[in-house]
Each structure stands twice: as C-alpha cells, then as structure tokens.
Structure 1
Amino acid sequence: MTHVVLVAGPWLAGTTSLVAALRDRMPEHRVLEAAELAAGEAPAAVVFVVSAAAPLTASDCALLDVVAAGTDAVIAVVSKIDVHRTWREVLAADQALLTERAARYRELPWVGVAAAPDLGLPVVDDLVTALRTVLADNTLTRRNRLRAKENRLLTADGAAREGCVAALRDQRAAVLRRFRLDKSERTIAMRSQIQQARVRLSSFARARCASARTELQDDVAALTRRGLAGFTDEVRRRAAEVGDDVRDEVTGHLADVVEQLGLASDVATPEGPRYEVGAAPVRSRNAETRLMMLLGAGFGLGIALTITRLLADLAPQWALRGAIGGAVLGLIVTLWVVSVRGLLRDRAVLDRWVVEVTAGLRTAMEEWVATQVLAAEASMGRAGAERDAVDGADMEDAVARIDAEIREQTVRRARAAAVRDRAVAAVRAELEGERLRLWPSESFL
C-alpha cells in the first residue's frame, strides 16, 4: 500500500537531501516536502528533521506542532551526524525539550541520519526501518483519523469564533476611531473657517471704509460754496451705506460658512452697524476774514491804482471813469479773493474732518465685525456640540450593539468549548486506547 510521507523541518536542517535519500530507498511510498503536499492532502507519517548543530528552538517546536497536528505517526530525525560529533547530546536535549512540551511527544522515535555525507554512503537505514514499521501498523489509519478529528475539534470552531470576535472588536475600534477623527476634523474645520471669516470680513470693512474716505475726499476737492450746507448729510449717507454693505457681507459670508460646515445653526440677520456722524466743524474765522479782507483790499486797491494810472496815461479824458471802474474792479477782486480763500479753508477743514470720520467709522466697523464673528462662533460651537452629542449617541448605540454581540459570541464560544472538550476527551480516550495497544505501559495524550 502506498503512503504519503511528509518530510519537514526548519531551514538548513537537511530536508531536501533526506527526501532524495528516502525516495531512493522507499520507492513504493510518496515522500514529499511541505511545499509539494497538495491542499487537503494528509500524510500518513511525518518525518521531522532537525540539525545536529544545535538544540531545537521555540519556532522549531511550533513548526512541529503545525506539521504533526493531523498525523499521529511522527518520527524525529537529527541530521548531519557525520559532521557534528555531539549529535547524541543534541538529540537528548531535543528529546527532553519535546517531552516537556506535549505528552504525545514523550515516546517519539528519534533517529540520527546523514542523508548526504561528505564521504561514504547515506546513513538512513535506521530511519527507513522505523518508517516501514510505522507504516505497516494496521492501526495507523485509525490513529491518524482520530488525531485529525481531535485537531479539527480544537482548532476549527474555536478559530472561527475567535475570528468573529476579533472582527467585532476591530469594528468597535473602527467606530470609535471614526467618531474621534470626525469630531476632530469638524472642530479643526470650524476653527479654520472662523479664523478665515474674521480675517476676510475685517479686511472687507477696512477696504470699504478706505474707499468711502477716498470718495468723500474727492467730493471735498470738488465742493462748491453751495454744497457746504449739505455735505454733512452726504457723509452720514455714505457712512450708512458702508454699514449696510458690511452687514450684508458679514451675514452672507457667515451663512456660507454655516452651510459649508453642515451645521443646523441659523445666522440671524443682525442690525447693521451704525456710526453717528456729527455736524461738520464750523469754526469762527473772523480774524482770518479780516486779514483776508485787508489783503484783498490791498490787492484790489493795487489793481484799481494800476488801471487808473494806465487810463490816465493813455486816455486822460477817461481818468475819472477809470478811477471809478478801478475801484469797482478792486472791490470785486477783494470779494473774490476772500471768498475763494474761505472756500479753500473750508475744504481743508472738511478734508481733515472726513479723515477723522472715516477713521472712527473703520474702528466701529471692525468692532462690529469682531462682535458678529464672535457671536457666530458661539452659535456654531453650540450647533457643533449638539451635532457631536447626536453622533456620540449614535456611536454609543453602535458600540453597545457590538459589545452585546461580542458577549453573545463569548457565551456561544464558552458553550461550544464545553461541547468540544467533551468530544475531544472522547477522541483522546479512544486514541489513547489505540496507542496503549502498541505501548501498554505509557500514556501519550
């Protein structure tokens, strides 16, 4: 009967050379390495190869547990005994280590081999004899089936349920992580939008006041005597326009911020900022007027005398008329000089007043903008807190459902473990009975 023999071991243990030697000595059986074993194919016997260079490590023992999980017939081999003279001490150490690890390894057969020696023929006779003896045992098939059944009972259901619980725990962690991340992202986004709104709206208020100042200064430069009386009202109207523009810009931009953040916060339309503009400064200028009249009179008198002398020289018959005409023209020039100087002086006063008014208007607009942004920040903060509370409640519900499912899976796993333990105990008892027929004085489970 052809059996499958699996030869496995840690790296550099000599498995490949041992496989070649066994294939040559036992052509009636299929001797395979771990990579050659087909999926779902179970070997009849396992030859576990370790090097005689050093004792087994924890990873080597774990590899033995894996390859021998579904096979009861296992033979341990220490290779390269032709090179390492202390292989017997290494074999004894390995044997003691595996005996402590599991009871099933207590009577494990140990063989020393040299599958590819530097000199002479391969030393595998003891291994071939032990393999033929194991494979010829008529209880081998039943023992392997019982060992595979025990392994399935111990691993399949438990692994599936452990995987389900692990997936639920990962899901729970993902829910918590997503809630914290979303909350942090929303908080950062709100702070960023508020800061941007504060900078943008303050800049808009300053620019709007600057443009109003420029427009008013242009109006002052073109102001006539008739326009002086209504200039104060014009300044008040421009200040009201600036307030309305700033209010519209603030309201619209904050509404856009609320919409972008997805908050259930209504930005109420606030009353626009108002800045009280006082009357234009009217200062007494009697002394200046008298001075200008004096200067204008002198200038007019000079013109009158000039014209009179000119006419007296050119047309003596017109001397009297020239004197009267020069006096009238001098008076007109005097009045014109006084009027123009007064208008220029009023324009200078109004220009300084416009600068003062727009400076105060700018301060008022900036304070109003800061107040509105602060109020909007508080409103959006409350709306964000309410949204976080709703999301937090949803998160807690989701976590509670996952925790309940984890507890349910834990209870199911405990019940399944109890059933499994009873089944494993029965399989082990049957397997021990089979093995006691071979080794009556020992217990291997």
Structure 2
Amino acid sequence: MTRPQLSDLPAETVDVVTRWNPDAVARLKSGGSSQRGVFVAGPRRAGKATLVRRLRALDASALAFVDDSLDAGVVLMVLDAAAPLGREELSVLDVVARPACPVVFALTKTDVHRDWAGVHERNRTLLARHAARFTDAEIHPVAAGGSGVEALLAALLRAARDEARDNSPATESVLEQTRRMIVATARSVRETEPGAELRAERVRALTLRDGGRTERVAQLRGQVQLAKVELLHEVASQVRAAGASARSEIDRAGRGTLAGYPDRLAEIVGERSGAVDAAVTARLGELRSRAGVAASDPEAAGPPPEPVVPEGPEPRHRGLEDRMTILIGASAGLGLGRLVVSPLSMVPALDIASIPLTLALGAVAAWWLTRSRAHVAERAHVRQWATEALVHVRSQWEQFVLARLLAAETLVSEAIIAESRVAAREVDERVAQIDGELRRLAARRSGQLSSCERDLAAVDRGLQEVRRPAGEPNRRGERLNT
C-alpha cells in the first residue's frame, strides 16, 4: 500500500495546510517537490561559506542552496575539525534536521588540525548517542586544498535523489513546515503581551486620577500660611507708618488742630486701609495663580470696609499737676516781674508804681506757663489716644486680612476639589475604555491560541497518517478489523 498523499488526509488537515501554507500545497498539486535545495548549517567559523563556494565551483547547476531550513530537501551539517561537536552543534542539528529530511555531515579544516581523525570518530560516537537515525551517519572530511569536496557533492546528490523518489516525504515536509509555522505563530502570540501600552497608560491614569489634589491642597496650605505671615507683616508696617505720621502731626499741632485731630486720624487710617487692601488683593491673586485655579475673591469686587476709628479722646481732667503749675507759674511770674521792675525801685517816685507792674507781669507769666503746660498735656493726651486707636485699627485690619485669607482658601480648595472630580471622572471613563480594549485583546489572543491549537492538532493527525507504516490501514475501522 502506498503512503497517503495530501488529498488522502482528513479534510480538516487539508484545510489547515491550505490556509497556512498555500504555496507548498500548490507545488504538491502541480507535481513539484516541496524540498528545494540544500540548507547549510553549523557553528560559527566552521568554514560554511568556503565550502559552499567550492561545491558551486564543481557544479553550479547540480545543487540549489536555500536560506530557510523549511524549504530544504537536504541539510548539510558542517563540523569543525578543531574539536568534537558540542551542545551548540547538537542544538543547531535539532533545529534544522526534520525527521524526514536527510542530513549529510562534513568535517572541515582537516589539513589544519592533525588530530582530525580522532575528532572524526568522536563526532560519530556523539551523533549515534544523540539520535538513532545518525547511528551509521557518514562524516565526509574536507581539506582546505579541495580534497574531499567531490565525495561530499556526490553524497549530497544521492541524498537529494533519494529524497525525491517518494512523494510522502514531500507531503510530510509540507505538514512539518506548516506545523512549524503554527508553532512559531502560537509562540509569538504567547510571548507578545497584548495591550502593554494600554496597561501603562492605565497605570499612569490611575496614578493621576485625583488630578494631584492631595499635593495641590498641601501646597495651598503652605502658601496660605506664607501669605498670612506676609500680610500681617504688611499690616504692622502700615500701623507703624500711621503711628509715625500721627505723632509727627500731634507734636506740631496747635490747640485748634488738636481739637479736630480724630477726623485727621480717620483720614490717615483710610489712606493706609487702601494700601492694606491693595496688598491683600495682590497677594491673594498670586496665591490663586500658584494654585492653578481661576476662583474669584467675592470680597475683592467691592470696596473694602473702612476700619472704625474710636471716638475722640475724652476731655482731659485737671489734676494736682495743673494746680502745681499754677503756683509755680505765679511764683515764677512774680520773680520775673520783680527782676524786670528792679531798676524802677531805685527811683523813689516810681517805687510804689513798680508794685502793680510786678503783679501784672507775674500774672502774665503765670498765665503763659500754665497755658503752655496745658497744651503739652493735651498733646500727650491726644497722642495716647491715637496710639490706642491705632491698636484698635490694627486688630480690624488683621481681622480683615484673616477673613480674606480664609475665604480665598475656601474658594481655591473648592475649585481644586471640583477640578479633581472632573479629572477623576475623565480618568474613570478612560480606564473603562482601556479595560474594555484589554478584554477585547485578551479574548482575541485567546481565540488565536485556540485556533492555533486546533490547527496544530489537525496537522499532527495528518503527520500520524503520513508516518504510519505502509502496511497498516489508514482508517481507524480497518485497523480495528485486521
């Protein structure tokens, strides 16, 4: 009984091979062989290129050399006479030597290494241990001068002719080639993780899900504390400036000016209040800018509230100092009057007239001294009142600053939370899209692997039919009845 052809195999096997390897199926149907030429394999620096050139020099049309072992009808395994073959050579041999593909061995550089004969026998022993099919394998020694190339060419031609006698190796080769294609595709699908970029994007999106709300809120608190320190320092500076202006004006004020000075102090406080408001507005604008939000300050839309200056000072109460000033002024005035009219006392006619004059001068000096002392005391009284009034104004300014800071912090925090919610919603939507895409990719990957496994099982069943001994029936029913 002849070996089965591709058309004799199960329909599912034929469909899989036709889908995966249409070129090889077309060659089989046209009567051509799927094995085309010789594939040269071996370790690096074994002289493969030199050996191919010599073979072509002998007969360029006798053999065709291919670059893919799947397209080869014969494998030429090149070994180096420098040392016996090892794991590298055996690994290459396992990859390129299919079960139905003949292998011809060549040992190069025999003219360079004197112990090549020992290496030759050692290689035969190692090949026999590695696989039963290589038990009687012949290794053709080749020298650099060209000796042994003719025998190697003849062995390659014999192997190519023997391989082309039966079509079953061609069918088996197509099945093996198709199997390798399926295995390579399945390995690529398993090794390639689908959606790696999507997973990285998902991780980045979840990392920034809150829009950096925690960091922004922490930075906002630090900026608010810094602004509080700066603005309270500005309030203290304005209070000191207002106090210096008030003291300077009070020291130069007359009696009429002192009477209306509370109104003047209110004007000074109003001017400084505008400077405080401007500093607060500028600093809060900088705070919102650094926080990255566009929240507006509702208190900055209208004029700031004017600080309330306490009512004018109470009337100064006259005390013991004023009485003592009167006595001292009278005493000093009498003494001054006597000093002034002392020349008149030397004239007897004017001696009596000097007494009322002395009294008049003493009275005027006492009045001036008492009035001046009262003016100085009034200045001190107004100065003390201005100091206490500025303390009250400072407390109002500080309350104004803290209220604006608290309102700004609240608005900026609400804006940050609102932006964070929007960002979280956008991230959640994007993560949901990514999860859906990842599920689709995973389902597609699973489907590809399942399809590869089904196709691989169909090809394996075809290989079992092809490799079954010729005397055994192909159909399961016939095998059970024999």
Query: How much does 1:369 deviate?
Result: 1.9
The 3 A distance-change label for structure 1 pair 64 and 259 is: farther
> Is residue 417 of structure 2 the alignment partner of residue 417 of structure 1?
no
Query: How much does 1:297 deviate?
Result: 1.6
SS at match of 2:332: helix
What does residue 99 of structure 1 align with? none
Residue 310 of structure 2: which of 272, 277, 282 is its match?
Answer: 277
What does residue 16 of structure 1 align with? 45
After superposition, give the CA deviation of every residue in 1:255-281 in whole Å (9 maximum; x if it has no partner).
Answer: 553355453644211763745525425
Counterpart residue identity of residue 374, structure 2? G
The 3 A distance-change label for structure 1 pair 77 and 357 is: farther
Residue 418 of structure 2: which of 382, 386, 396 is its match?
Answer: 386
The 3 A distance-change label for structure 1 pair 4 and 224 is: farther
> Is residue 297 of structure 2 the alignment partner of residue 267 of structure 1?
yes
Counterpart residue identity of residue 381, structure 1? S
> Is residue 202 of structure 2 the alignment partner of residue 172 of structure 1?
yes
What does residue 377 of structure 2 align with? 345
CA contact (8 A) 1:5 1:46 kept: yes
Task: State which drifts further: 285-294 or 339-348.
Answer: 339-348
What does residue 259 of structure 2 align with? 229
Instruction: State how far apart, in whole Å, the 2-side matches of 1:143 and 1:298 are.
Output: 146
> Is residue 212 of structure 2 the alignment partner of residue 212 of structure 1?
no
Instruction: State how far apart, in whole Å, the 1-side matches of 2:408 and 2:386 are.
Output: 32
SS at match of 1:168: helix
What does residue 395 of structure 1 align with? 427
- For residues 98-113 of structure 1, what are the structure 2 equivalents within 5 Å? none
The 3 A distance-change label for structure 1 pair 325 and 410 is: same
Instruction: State how far apart, in whole Å, the 2-side matches of 1:362 and 1:276 are.
Output: 10
Query: How much does 1:365 deviate?
Result: 2.4
The 3 A distance-change label for structure 1 pair 425 and 47 is: farther
The 3 A distance-change label for structure 1 pair 26 and 359 is: farther
Instruction: State how far apart, in whole Å, the 2-side matches of 1:363 and 1:190 are.
Output: 25
What does residue 390 of structure 2 align with? 358
SS at match of 2:340: helix
Counterpart residue identity of residue 401, structure 1? Q
Instruction: State how far apart, in whole Å, the 2-side matches of 1:290 and 1:183 are.
Output: 72
Gaps of 5+ in 2: 1-34, 473-482
Query: How much does 1:149 deviate?
Result: 4.5
Larger relative CO (CA 8 A, sep 6+): 1 or 2?
A: 2
- For residues 29-178 of structure 1, what are the structure 2 equivalents within 5 Å? 44=72, 137-138=163-164, 149-156=178-185, 159=188, 162=192, 164-178=194-208
> Is residue 436 of structure 2 the alignment partner of residue 404 of structure 1?
yes
CA contact (8 A) 2:231 2:279 kept: yes
Counterpart residue identity of residue 195, structure 1? Q
The 3 A distance-change label for structure 1 pair 242 and 425 is: same
CA contact (8 A) 1:311 1:319 kept: yes
> Is residue 404 of structure 2 the alignment partner of residue 372 of structure 1?
yes
Q: Which has the larger radius of gyration?
A: 2
SS at match of 1:15: coil
Instruction: State how far apart, in whole Å, the 2-side matches of 1:375 and 1:70 are.
Output: 82
Instruction: State how far apart, in whole Å, the 2-side matches of 1:371 and 1:195 are.
Output: 13
Query: How much does 1:359 deviate?
Result: 3.2
The 3 A distance-change label for structure 1 pair 172 and 148 is: farther
Query: How much does 1:351 deviate?
Result: 2.9
CA contact (8 A) 1:263 1:380 kept: yes
Task: State which drifts further: 169-178 or 41-50.
Answer: 41-50
> Is residue 368 of structure 2 the alignment partner of residue 331 of structure 1?
no
Instruction: State how far apart, in whole Å, the 2-side matches of 1:237 and 1:306 are.
Output: 49
Instruction: State how far apart, in whole Å, the 2-side matches of 1:47 and 1:72 are.
Output: 15
Instruction: State how far apart, in whole Å, the 1-side matches of 2:203 and 2:298 are.
Output: 40
Task: State which drifts further: 410-419 or 386-395.
Answer: 410-419
Counterpart residue identity of residue 276, structure 2? V
Query: How much does 1:397 deviate?
Result: 0.7
Task: State which drifts further: 283-292 or 136-145.
Answer: 136-145
- TM-score, normalised to structure 2, is 0.64
Counterpart residue identity of residue 365, structure 1? W
The count of residues paired between Structure 1 and Structure 2 equals 412
What does residue 301 of structure 1 align with? 334
Counterpart residue identity of residue 447, structure 2? R
Instruction: State how far apart, in whole Å, the 1-side matches of 2:224 and 2:443 are.
Output: 51
> Is residue 227 of structure 2 the alignment partner of residue 197 of structure 1?
yes
- For residues 416-435 of structure 1, what are the structure 2 equivalents within 5 Å? 416-430=448-462
Query: How much does 1:31 deviate?
Result: 9.0
After superposition, give the CA deviation of every residue in 1:56-82 in whole Å (9 maximum; x if it has no partner).
Answer: 7xxx97x999x8699997989999998
Counterpart residue identity of residue 424, structure 2? G
Query: How much does 1:367 deviate?
Result: 3.7
CA contact (8 A) 1:46 1:68 kept: no
Instruction: State how far apart, in whole Å, the 1-side matches of 2:218 and 2:85 are.
Output: 61
After superposition, give the CA deviation of every residue in 1:346-398 in whole Å (9 maximum; x if it has no partner).
Answer: 32333343333333433442243223312322232222212211211111011
Task: State which drifts further: 390-399 or 153-162.
Answer: 153-162
Residue 322 of structure 2: which of 279, 289, 311 is its match?
Answer: 289
Instruction: State how far apart, in whole Å, the 1-side matches of 2:282 and 2:213 are.
Output: 26
What does residue 288 of structure 2 align with? 258
After superposition, give the CA deviation of every residue in 1:276-328 in whole Å (9 maximum; x if it has no partner).
Answer: 52542544232111111122222211211111113445x77665665544443
Counterpart residue identity of residue 308, structure 1? V
